[in-house]
Amino acid sequence: MSDFKIGVVVEGTTDRIIIESVLNHILQDYTFKMIQLQPEQRFNDDGGFGTTGSGWGGIYRWCRQVVDMGFDILDNPSLKQFDIIIVHLDADVAEKKYRDANILNPKKDDLPCVSPCPPASNTTTNLEQVIYNWLNLSGQYFKPLVMCIPSKCIEAWIAVACYGQNDTSILMNIECNADIENYLAQKPAKERFIRNRKGKMKKLTKRYSEYSETITTKWNYIMEQCLQAKEFNDRIVTLKRNKYVMT
Amino acid sequence: MLTQVSIRNFKSILNQEFFPGLMNILIGANGSGKSNILEAIGVLSAAASGIVDDESLLRRGVRLSMPGIYKSAFKEKIVAPHIFFEAKTDKTEYSVTLDNLKDNSGSAWQFKSEELISDGEIILKRSPKQSSKNNQQGYAALKRIEMIENTSDANTSGVDLLNIIQNYAIYYPNTPVLRGISPDLHPRAPVGLTGGRLADAIIELQSLISKDEFIEDAFDDILTLIDWTNSFDTTSNAESILSPSVARTKNTIRFTDKYMKTKHNQISAYDASEGVLYILFCTALVLSPNSPKCFAIDNLDQALNPRLILNLAKLLCKWFTQNKKSPQLFFTAHNPAVLDGLHLQDDRIRLFSVDRNNQGHTEITRIVMTKELLTLSHEKGWPLSRLWLMGHLGGVPNV
């Protein structure tokens, strides 16, 4: 049996690929089973993402759905079997309004919640509290919940891993750079993670998969450049340590 | 009944053991290793019967692979020298270590070790050192004959376990065979592995109705699942219901369509909905005294409407728990509705999710129906089918 059973709540498929690559580094001496809880794919598929949808709005709806189940997330009978539940949200969501995701009656009007950057951590702390509000939780740390809030988006980690050592300019305040997706979209076609077709961005799953091992091998370097990566790393390490100290 | 199964180094299964009940449902993503689990028991079955080769595997419904595929070969691990299988009942255990040849000659696999223990007594023990002679021959099969013939040495538990394992097979019905228009390449009694001789099996069961109230009731239960017919039987005279251009078997199943006028309402298995044929196939296997005592059905839910598979699952639970002569069943399913028909509060009905971990190893996890899950399912409106789709139970692809 795997050492860890991990549920991931992510904005989209490519985010899950990156997080899995990161976990392959942090939990390299362990085995784990990872199950994508959100986005939920519909089985009678019409190409959509289940009842909750994808993106940050999907994560909001997933959280509210968990609350609707009538149990605190920590006591939810079908979720408490997970050793870790990772909730991912890109920090740029802090700039959004609920209406942007077609959420007309939010639990609390706590978006936007962006703070000046640097430091990125002020905004990510605000955003964590927003997620706790979605889950009807008040405090800071709730095992097995682990927040993963890359700033401004998870593609910053890709940019560091793939280009940081040859293009140091991209490293400057990278966690406050709102233009990372465009940066990746402007790369030559053969190495492009994101395609920009008439202003519509498309993340290329194939490319994310191909480079997943790069993320794993360069995770220490990513952590040096991105404090949010370090934060995520430390939280997983703490849970890992707690599990094996307790058992 | 098998109460424990252990598998090591077989295909995607590095090292797993699980504790089956009487009726076992395996759910998981495509490629998670569900069929590998069923096939592992198939290889064990062949070993317990004395030889593991292409013929003995095919007979049990095990897919024939290239030799390099049988043994686990994960990137991070050294390829283990042997494949290990073990099955236990309450009193008996049989284990075997095998090595398949690396070339594609179709030769039988080699036995490295073999052990049969019954009531705490070692009935058979064979170590790798002793295996140089007759190493393609399993000794347990010979021991079974010896135990049966030597009445003073009548170790019934040991014989029972070998009987259970030896006759195991994986059934995977397909529509043309069920309709009787394609031959079953894997014939068996009461039905072939792909659904051949279904009409004959129904005739055999119907002949038992007068002697067995359980079968009589079961036949009545079947009609509750089929809303377009009010009766079915078999005939050897299919001229009036089957086009002369259609291939046929000696006997044909005949249904009465309740919406049609008399003389126009008799239809054959060839023309009937395929769903009803899959139901009858399950019925024949579960109720027939000629069925193996332990068997598997891969993709039990194919061709069935969600509401129909839900009700079939309910019916199977009823039959398995009420019939003292029930065989042991393993089946795989992909339709979430099947979960809502399972009476998982009964410990004999067991649900397992099958997943692969980050290194690709197949893992089997039993999903126990706790009081809290029951509350969630029955009182709060979150049935298992929904929880499965949501990923809470595992057994879903990360897509």
Tens-place pLDDT, residues A151-184: 999 999 999 999 999 999 999 999 999 999 999 9
Predicted confidence band of residue A47 (pLDDT cuts 50, 70, 90): very low
A28 in a domain, yes or no? yes
Nearest to A77 among B365, B372, B397 (CB): B372
Residues of B in contact with A35 (CB under 8 A): 355, 391, 394, 396, 398
Is pLDDT of A192 > 80? yes
How far apart, in whole angstroms, are the C-alpha atoms of residue B190 and residue A189?
A: 60
Angle CA A128–A132–A135, to nearest 5: 145
**Residue A216 to residues A22, A161, A240, B138, Cα–Cα distance (Å):** 5, 9, 18, 47
Tokens of A97: 């309004």
CA A106 and chain centroid, separation: 21
Question: Token pair 């219901």 is at which residue?
Answer: B241
Q: Is residue A71 in a domain?
A: yes
pLDDT (0 to 100) of residue A142 = 65
What pLDDT is recorded for position A199?
Answer: 84
Residues 6+ away with beta carbon under 8 Å from A69: A76, B376, B380, B382
Q: Is residue A138 one of the residues assigned to a domain?
A: yes
In a domain, A197, yes or no: no
- The per-residue pLDDT for B353 is 97
The share of chain A scoring above pLDDT 70, in percent, equals 93
Of B392, B398, B399, the CB nearest to A78: B392
Q: Which residue does chain B place closest to A14, by CA atoms?
A: B399
Task: Tell me the residue type at A151.
Answer: S
> What is the structure's pLDDT at B151?
64
Which tokens sit at A165?
């050592």
* Residues from chain A contacting residue B338 (CB–CB below 8 Å): none
**Contact call for A33 and B373, based on CB within 8 A:** no
Neighboring chain A residues of B365 at a CB cutoff of 8 Å: 1
Is the predicted pLDDT of residue A41 greater than 80, yes or no?
no
Which of A5-9, A67-71, B129-133, B280-284 comes out lowest in average pLDDT? B129-133
Of A31, A40, A75, the CB nearest to B358: A31
Q: Which residues of B touch A (CB under 8 A)?
A: 336, 355-359, 361, 363, 365, 370, 372-373, 375-376, 380, 382, 387, 389-394, 396-399
Q: Mark yes or no for CB contact A20/B358 under 8 Å.
A: yes
* Mutation target among B382, B387, B388, B393 for the A interface, most CBs of A within 10 A: B382
Task: Decide if A133 contacts A108 (C-beta within 8 A).
Answer: yes
Mean pLDDT of chain A: 91
Residue A112 lies in a domain: yes
Instruction: Return per-residue pLDDT of chain B as tens, 399 residues.
Output: 999 999 999 999 999 999 999 999 999 999 999 999 999 999 999 999 999 999 999 999 999 988 888 999 998 888 888 999 999 999 999 999 999 877 767 789 999 999 999 989 999 999 877 756 788 999 999 999 888 887 665 568 889 999 999 999 999 999 999 998 899 999 999 999 999 999 999 999 999 999 999 999 999 999 899 888 888 888 887 677 767 776 777 788 999 988 888 888 888 888 888 999 999 999 999 999 999 999 999 999 988 999 999 999 999 999 999 998 899 999 999 999 999 999 999 999 999 999 999 999 999 999 999 999 999 998 889 999 999 999 999 999 988
Short-list B91, B108, B106, B95, CA closest to B165: B95
B336 contacts on A by Cβ (under 8 Å) = 43
Of all residues in chain B, the one with the smallest CA distance to A67 is B380
Report ipTM for this prediction. Answer: 0.87
SS3 A61: helix
Are A195 and A184 in contact, with CB atoms under 8 Å apart? no
Total domains present in chain A: 1
pLDDT for position B290: 95
Instruction: Give residue A29's region: left, alpha or beta (phi > 0; psi -120 to 50).
Output: alpha
Q: Spell out which residues of chain A touch residue B394, defining contact as CB-CB under 8 Å.
A: 5, 33, 35
By residue range, what is the domain housing residue A26?
4-154+225-246
Task: Say if residue A82's pLDDT is above 70.
Answer: yes
Q: Which residue of A has its CA nearest to B354?
A: A33
Q: Convert the pLDDT of each residue in A210-224 to its tens digit.
A: 999 999 999 999 999
The secondary structure of residue B153, as a DSSP letter, is G
